[in-house]
Every structure is written in C-alpha cells, then in structure tokens.
Amino acid sequence: MYTVIGQQAIIVMISHLLFIVITFWALQALNFEKLIRRDHVIQARVLYLIIAVALGVTISNFFLDYFISARQLGNLFGS
C-alpha cells in the first residue's frame, strides 16, 4: 500500500519538475524585456519563475489527470 503511494508521489514530482523545466524553456521564446521596467531585473526574474511554475504545474496536473482517466476507462467496459 505505502509502496504504491510512494511510487505515485515520485511520478507526480517528476512530472511537475519536467513540465516546469519545459515551460521555463518555452517561455524563453517570448520577449519580456519590453514589459520590464528599468532596475527591476530581480523582480522580473522572480515573476518569470512564478509563471513557469504555475504553468508547468497546471500542465502537469492536466496530463496526470488525463492519464488517470485513461486508465480508469477500462473499468467502464468491465476489463
């Protein structure tokens, strides 16, 4: 029982980190410099990180929920 819970926790953590990194990488394609006020570089970096984490976790949750739902479809057909 605890082994399954531990395995699920590892999968969730890896998924979240993976999608945060992918989101951080994808956000680098945007030009945020025009939106940043002068002498607010640290605040801009923190905001960039917060956006990457928020989007990454949201996307990760979507894929995890989708994967769980797809696995549970077998119960619908009695498999």
Segment 22-41, tens digit of pLDDT: 999 999 998 888 888 888 88
Structural domain range at position 53: 1-77
* Mean local confidence (pLDDT), 49-64: 97
Number of structural domains found in the chain: 1
Q: State if pTM tops 0.75.
A: yes
Sign of CA dihedral 64, 11, 19, 54: positive
Task: Using a pLDDT cut of 70, give the percent of the chain over it.
Answer: 97
End-to-end Cα separation, the chain, in angstroms: 22
Confidence band for 63, pLDDT divided at 50, 70 and 90:
very high
The pLDDT, as a whole number, for residue 10 is 95
